[in-house]
Amino acid sequence: MATRRSTALLLAGLALAASALVGCSAGGGGARATFVFPDAANLISGSRVLVDGFAAGRVTDIEPKDGKAFVGVQLDSAHSPLREGTTARISYQSLLGERVVDVLPAAKASAALPDGAVVTATTPRVELDQLFNALDPETRAAVSKAFPGLDAALAGHEADAKATVDSAGPALDALAEIVQAVGSDGPTLHRLLTSLQDLSARLAARKDAVRQTIHGFDRNLQAVSGQAGALGQAIDKLPATLQQAQSALGKVPGAAAAAVPLLHDLLPAAQALPAAAADLRPFLADLAPTLVDLKPTLAALSDLLVETPGTLDRAHAVLPPAAGLVASLLPAIDFLRPYTPELAGAIANFASASANYDRNGHYVRIFVSSGSAFLDASPFLLNPALSQHPERRPGELVGQPLSDAAGSIVR
């Protein structure tokens, strides 16, 4: 029993050391390949695939065939494709648990293997007993002497050792991620340490200024402590100030509550603003060239407005006499307005009389209408067959009697 516990402790220590050397995670999405191993004990679907010690993929399936294990893997694009001469072996992820597929890639100058290639060049797995058998007798004797001490340390703590081994994997994975992050951020850490070193050197070079700053801060604290009474009085006055502030703040909820319905009413308009802005954008885009073309017009309008005051002054001098002239013409216009039909008839008759034209152009025919009464005309005695009507009503001559809106007759 003591030997078994010692062996378990030794295996646990070796497992922790081996797990610390394993990569963190593997990618996917690259080439596929199948490796043929003599056996695949403790290798499962989902086990990690390492290339040169870096996580590079996952085991997709394990199929026994012809007494051998055909292990299918999916590599990520960074390690694809595999090349001729690539070998693989099953290595320990932990001595007591899962294994990993360790791929030893060939030189990049070699020909690329096709996707899904079968690789038979594999290395047999080394078991734990083979590792112990490889030790020389002196080393085996020294290890066997360590077993009693390990047995005494594990006595009664087998469950704790098992829990430690179970939880060591994630912890070591996290430690590996930290170490990897430190390694990838080495230049950044170097710059940080260099900056800290420069800062320390500058502070050491200016220790007198730093000392004076600290002394000044100490004096300020002493001055503040000396004004403790004044500070106390100011603090005593704070309750009244806080009460006034509380009274003012107490009115805020009422105003805010009154503003809530207004905000609710404004909400539909605010929600419609993006759509209105989107609809307005093409109009504004079309309006931009118009505004550019409007610039000369505005410049001319500016010049016109410069001349406008003088024009208005001259118009002010002309308009009153013009208003008086129009006022003096109103009686004549009122007298001639009822005779508008006669004027329109005369113009129409003249237009129809001059409508004839020949090759020489328009011509006018004048007809003289006269009867026998013309020979008997006398300024003193009228022919009984003739009559006179010197005061015709407006429009009576053309059969369109006319009167103004007030019904006035001829003047």
Same domain, 60 and 169: yes
- pLDDT for res 399: 65
Same domain, 11 and 57: yes
Which of the listed residues 146, 180, 214 is the one where a domain comes to its end? 180
> Is pLDDT at 320 greater than 50 in this prediction?
yes
Please report whether residue 312 resides in a domain: no
Count up the domains in the chain and report the number: 2
| Residues, the chain | 411
> Is pLDDT at 275 greater than 70 in this prediction?
yes
Which of the listed residues 194, 223, 252 is the one where a domain comes to its end? 223
Q: Tell me: the pLDDT tens digits for 196-207? A: 778 878 878 888
Q: Tell me: the pLDDT tens digits for 321-372? A: 888 888 888 888 877 777 777 777 778 777 777 777 777 877 777 766 555 5
Q: Tell me: the pLDDT tens digits for 114-152? A: 988 898 878 766 665 666 676 777 777 777 777 777 777
Q: Quick one: which of 50, 34, 49, 27 has its CA closest to 116?
A: 34
Please report whether residue 63 resides in a domain: yes
Same domain, 158 and 54: yes
Cα dihedral across residues 217, 221, 226, 227: positive or negative: positive
**What is the amino acid identity at position 47?**
S
Give 3's pLDDT tier (boundaries 50, 70, 90).
very low
> Is pLDDT at 94 greater than 70 in this prediction?
no
What is the DSSP pairing of strand 48-51 with strand 29-37?
A: unpaired
Q: Print the domain residue range for 199.
A: 185-223
Q: Where are the beta strands (DSSP E) in 38-86?
A: 48-51, 54-65, 68-76
Same domain, 23 and 84: yes
Mean pLDDT of the chain: 75
Q: Quick one: which of 26, 59, 55, 25 has its CA closest to 42?
A: 59
Both tokens assigned to 375: 């020979």
C-alpha pair distances (Å), 184 with each of 194, 278, 319: 17, 48, 94
CB 76 within 8 A of CB 26: yes
- pLDDT for res 25: 38
Dihedral angle over CA of 36, 38, 41, 43, nearest 10: -20
Q: Quick one: which of 168, 38, 154, 22 has its CA closest to 92?
A: 22
Please report whether residue 385 resides in a domain: no
Q: Quick one: which of 108, 91, 111 has its CA closest to 99?
A: 91
CB 103 within 8 A of CB 89: no
Please report whether residue 308 resides in a domain: no
> Is pLDDT at 273 greater than 90 in this prediction?
no
Same domain, 78 and 203: no
Same domain, 176 and 189: no
CB 59 within 8 A of CB 75: no
Please report whether residue 15 resides in a domain: yes
Please name the residue that has the structure tokens 């006319």: 402
Burial environment of residue 19 by CB neighbours within 10 A (0 to 12, 13 to 18, 19 or more): buried
Same domain, 130 and 199: no
Cα dihedral across residues 161, 167, 172, 178: positive or negative: negative
Which of the listed residues 223, 246, 274 is the one where a domain comes to its end? 223
How far is residue 81's CA from residue 117's CA, in Å, rounded to a whole number? 10
What is the DSSP pairing of strand 68-76 with strand 87-92?
A: unpaired
CB 9 within 8 A of CB 161: yes
Please report whether residue 396 resides in a domain: no
b or e along 29-55 (b: 16 or more beta carbons within 10 Å of the residue's beta carbon)? ebbbbbbbbeebeebeeebbbbbeeeb
Please report whether residue 128 resides in a domain: yes
Region of 67 on the Ramachandran plot (φ > 0 left; ψ -120 to 50 alpha; else beta): left
Please name the residue that has the structure tokens 């002394």: 215
Same domain, 31 and 118: yes
Range with the largest mean pLDDT of 168-182, 286-300, 367-381: 286-300
Both tokens assigned to 101: 């597929």
Q: Which of 22-31, 41-50, 177-186 has the lowest mean pLDDT?
A: 22-31
Same domain, 56 and 148: yes
> Is pLDDT at 93 greater than 70 in this prediction?
no
Same domain, 56 and 141: yes
Same domain, 135 and 213: no
b or e along 268-299 (b: 16 or more beta carbons within 10 Å of the residue's beta carbon)? eeeeeeeeeeeeeeeeeeeeeeeeeeeeeeee
Same domain, 83 and 206: no
Please report whether residue 92 resides in a domain: yes
Grouping H, G, I as helix, E, B as strand and the rest as coil, residue 303 is helix
- pLDDT for res 60: 93
CB 23 within 8 A of CB 54: yes
